[in-house]
Structure 1
Amino acid sequence: MSRPERLVFCDVDETLITCKSPFEFLRFYLEVRYGAEGARRAGELRERLVAETAAGVSREEANRVYYRAWRGEPAAEVEAWGRRWLSERLTDGNFFVAGTLVRLDRHRAEGAAVVLVSGSIPALLAPLAETVGARHVLCARMERCGRVFTGRLLGEPVIGEGKRTVVRQLLARYPDIDPADCFGYGDHISDLPMLMEVGHRVAVGEFSGLGQALADAERLAPATGR
């Protein structure tokens, strides 16, 4: 595989795709496996996490709680159904954020490597990366015990400062690439640490507060993004 000219880091939920994929997929999977009871469990978890986040629980802790819902589920089944979920969602003409997808295609045509950076579940991100031609996926790693998930993560959630960490680690693998030449796309204030590691920062959407946060940060940040 040829060495890329630059790296393009892209958040996934509501930046590249229009939905919050962890919750959508959890409901899809649990309903298939457990029927109405599974759908109820997924709905209750989503409501709980939305309420707790609004009350001040960090997005990182909410992400850990989300992954506990996968405890005891067979990894192979989750991965297979992840591909089926994506296959079904790709039939929806509104699944992708069109502007982001166009930009990523343009970056790849110009010799860049696209990198998906997300707190979403790996079972979805791997086939999504294949679909959009992403070279790398930076995401949570789910602990396994034998053939099933334990509900715990290996390492930190890839949210907020966790995104900064994994972006820096990947940049270190490409010492010939200047971070100032790289791009980042995000939609939420929690994407700011990732975006500040690169020279070209793009806020997707108008109502998240990320655009203003970027403007404030850029007044203080060095031009190299470091």
Structure 2
Amino acid sequence: MKNELRFAFFDVDDTLIHIKSMFDFYHFWCYEVWHRPQLHDDFEAAFARMFSEGRTREELNSAYYRYFTGVVPQLLDSAGSDWATDRLARPEDLFVAPVVEELQRLQGEGVIPVFVSGSFNALLEPIARTLEVPHILATNLEVGEDGLYTGNIMAPQTIGMGKALAVQGFLQHHVASPSRCYAFGDDLSDLPMLNVVGHPVAVGTGTILAERAATANWPVIATSELS
């Protein structure tokens, strides 16, 4: 038990960072890469409609990646890196300080942090390097025979129950006990992931997840931004 690997699984958007990376990036993509603001206006209108229809997070996540159908992977990677460089230039605006402090405290105790996010690697990798996070479980985009993105995503979809499946697969691969691991999330959709570890932590107060955490006697990290 002494040398057994321990992991801490972190949702990213609104848990470790103040923004929703995918939506913030799409604004950057339309304005800074394509220089076509109308693309972003159309995107926002489409997602507003889907939100009003009560679409699930899984459906919204799938819809988002269809906007990259036909894109060259290298272009998306480059744009993602540029976006992250811009956001990381102001870390005090990007990071949720109390959660980063907890991540670093656990690192000091030998617990290995892992990102678990519906976002994609081009956005997450620079943030992971900054925080010295060695593992990322995120959305993988399908590449077609022509070398371009198809608009589809690969399983498991790292949203909702998919996060739990990704974490379970990761723990099995690393032969680590879920009971000795941590998970952090801010939204009810993170609940399946939180339920598969021994040390779940809710981020933010005044949410449905925080209410569930209080009932279950889980720790809650209060942040003024998310309260």
Distance 1:207 1:44, change over 3 A: farther
Q: 1:84 aligns with which of 72, 82, 85?
A: 82
Greater shift, 138-147 or 68-77, is seen at 138-147
8 Å CA contact retained: 1:53, 1:59: no
CA distance in structure 1 between the aligned counterparts of 2:48 and 2:212, rounded to whole angstroms: 22
Give the equivalent residue in structure 2 for 1:52: 50
Deviations 1:112-150 (Å, cap 9, x if unpaired)? 111000001221112221121112111111011233211
Amino acid at match of 1:27: H
Give the equivalent residue in structure 2 for 1:158: 158
8 Å CA contact retained: 2:107, 2:113: yes
State the shift of 1:39 in Å.
2.6
CA distance in structure 1 between the aligned counterparts of 2:4 and 2:121, rounded to whole angstroms: 24
State the shift of 1:53 in Å.
2.7
Give the equivalent residue in structure 2 for 1:117: 116
**Residue 17 of structure 2 is aligned to residue 17 of structure 1:** yes
Greater shift, 184-193 or 73-82, is seen at 73-82
State the shift of 1:26 in Å.
1.2
8 Å CA contact retained: 2:33, 2:79: no
Consecutive unaligned residues of structure 2, counting only runs of 5 or more, are 219-227
Give the equivalent residue in structure 2 for 1:33: 33
Amino acid at match of 2:102: R
State the shift of 1:216 in Å.
4.2
8 Å CA contact retained: 1:67, 1:152: yes
**Residue 174 of structure 2 is aligned to residue 174 of structure 1:** yes
Amino acid at match of 2:68: W
State the shift of 1:218 in Å.
6.5
SS at match of 1:53: helix
Amino acid at match of 1:179: P
Scaled by the length of structure 1, the TM-score of the pair is: 0.88
Query: What is the aligned-residue identity percentage?
Result: 35
State the shift of 1:4 in Å.
6.7
8 Å CA contact retained: 1:82, 1:124: yes
SS at match of 2:167: helix
8 Å CA contact retained: 1:118, 1:138: yes
State the shift of 1:58 in Å.
0.8
CA distance in structure 2 between the aligned counterparts of 1:25 and 1:136, rounded to whole angstroms: 21
Report how many residues are paired: 214
Distance 1:10 1:53, change over 3 A: same
Q: 1:43 aligns with which of 41, 46, 62?
A: 41
Distance 1:217 1:60, change over 3 A: farther
Distance 1:112 1:43, change over 3 A: farther
Give the equivalent residue in structure 1 for 2:204: 205
